[in-house]
Amino acid sequence: MTRPLEGRVAFVAGASRGIGATIAEALAGAGAAVAVAARSEVEGKLPGTIGAVAQRITDAGGRALPVRCDVTSEESVEDAVARTVAEFGGIDILVANAGVLWMGPVETTPLRRWQLCLDVNTTGVFLVTRAVIPHVRARGGGSLIAVTTTGVTMTDLGANAYWVSKAATERLYLGLANDLKADNIAVNCLSPSRVVLTEGWLVGGGGVEIPPEMIEPPEAMGAAAVLLAQQDAGGITGTIQRSEALAAE
């Protein structure tokens, strides 16, 4: 098995379950040491903890560090990044995956839901990205990946807090790719091509029935993240990628 990320360090925000957990395990399988970052240290309403994901990685022969991180808190993010650098010596790869879903129509969206989407999906990406940039720059290059959604472009389906928050993140990352070109840092967005039936989707997806042909296995996002994680500014950068389309290229 090839290990293209041997010697690299990845910070995965939102890695206690779902797509983030799959990406963390895929990056570790490709050789990276992985900081498994999220809030859940003990089982709560939803299954999955940072400790359990880190344990799965170490059981499979990889390197992982569970780090508590609330992406909405500047202090928590700074602390998690500092702990990762102290343990692994630097950071080469960021996957800003932490996200919350709210697909309700604008008229019936409570202000706290609107704010939570922006706090986690937009400000959270800003905070983790800002915290890792100096460390990635210090390595002479690396790769930043924000997890977004195909819903951003589906304006014919209307508007909601979730799509708006992800649209802002795409704008953030597309511009940042330009800012960080001279630092040899690739900056891309990645989303599933179809729907991944994660815990978050099942709770927040509003009971929408997904036809079987629209269901994507979580491993597609893992493989796509491994590919994007290998990029620097000389490779794929400043793009919005879809997991299965990227694999097919």
CA distances from residue 36 to 48, 192, 240, 241 in whole angstroms, order as listed: 12, 20, 24, 23
Instruction: Determine if 244 is a binding residue for ligand NAP (CB under 6 A).
Output: no
Q: Tell me if 195 contacts ligand NAP by CB under 6 A.
A: yes
Nearest-approach distance from CB 182 to ligand NAP, in angstroms: 28
Nearest residue relative to ligand NAP (C-beta): 200
For residue 128, give Cα distances in angstroms to 14, 116, 125, 172, 195: 11, 16, 5, 13, 25
Q: Identify whether 162 is a catalytic site residue.
A: yes
Is 149 a binder of ligand NAP (CB under 6 A)? yes
Q: Looking at 126, 162, 163, 173, which residue is catalytic?
A: 162
Strands 142-147 and 93-96, how do they pair? parallel
**Among residues 239, 147, 152, 156, which one has the least CA distance to residue 198?**
147
Check binding of 20 to ligand NAP (CB under 6 A): yes
Tokens of 105: 């129509």
Nearest residue to 104 via CA among 160, 29, 172: 160
Work out how close the CB of 174 gets to ligand NAP at its nearest, in angstroms, rounded to a whole number: 17
Q: What is the nearest approach in angstroms of ligand NAP to the Cβ of residue 142?
A: 20
Is residue 85 near ligand NAP by the rule CB under 6 A? no
Identify the burial level of 41 via C-beta atoms within 10 angstroms of its C-beta, where 0-12 means exposed, 13-18 middle and 19 or more buried.
Answer: middle
Residue 39 found at the interface with ligand NAP (CB under 6 A):
yes
Which of 74, 78, 199, 244 forms a contact with ligand NAP (CB under 6 A)? 199
* Residue 25 found at the interface with ligand NAP (CB under 6 A): no
Question: How far separated are the first and last CA of the chain, in Å rounded?
Answer: 21
Q: Applying CB under 6 A, which of residues 10, 12, 19, 229 lies at the interface with ligand NAP?
A: 19
The C-alpha atoms of residue 128 and residue 120 are separated, in whole angstroms, by 11
Contact flag: residue 193 with ligand NAP (CB under 6 A): no
Q: Where do contacts with ligand NAP occur on this chain (CB under 6 A)? A: 13-20, 38-40, 69-72, 97-100, 120, 147, 149, 191-192, 195-196, 198-201
Active centre residues (catalytic): 162
